[in-house]
Amino acid sequence: MSIMARAGSRGFDIRKQWGFSTIAIACFVLLYLPVVLLVVYSFNAGNSVAIWEGFSLQWYRAAWANAQVQEATVRSLVLALWASGISTSVAVLAALATTRQRAFKG
C-alpha cells in the first residue's frame, strides 16, 4: 500500500499539526485585542488615549448630542433592518426553492 493511500484513509486533521493551537490563539488575540482596547478606551474620561483617567460616558453623551451623529445612527439602523429583512426573505425563498423543487420553477 502506498503512502498516499494510507494517508488518505486516515484523513488530514489540521488540529493535530504541530503549533496549530498556538497560532490559532495568537490570531484570535491579534484580531480581537484592538477591538477590545477600542471599546475599553471609549469610556476613558480623559482627552488622551495614552492615559487612563477614569470611567466616563462623556464622549457618548457628546456624540449623541450631535445632530449628524443622531442622523447617521438612525440611518444605519434603518439600513440594517432593511438589509436583514431582504437577506432573510431571499434566504427563505432559496431554502424553499432547494427543498421544494416543484413549488419554484426556475
Tens-place pLDDT, residues 25-69: 999 999 999 999 999 999 999 888 888 899 999 989 999 999 999
Distance in Å from the first CA to the final CA of the chain: 48
Report whether 56 contacts 45 (CB < 8 A): yes
Please report, for residues 13, 29, 37, the alpha-carbon distance to residue 22 in angstroms, rounded to integers and kept in the order given: 16, 11, 22
Kindly report, residue by residue over 67-96, the tens digit of the pLDDT: 999 999 999 999 999 999 999 999 999 998
Please report, for residues 21, 88, 101, the alpha-carbon distance to residue 96 in angstroms, rounded to integers and kept in the order given: 40, 12, 8
Give the confidence band of 13 by pLDDT, cuts at 50, 70, 90.
Answer: confident
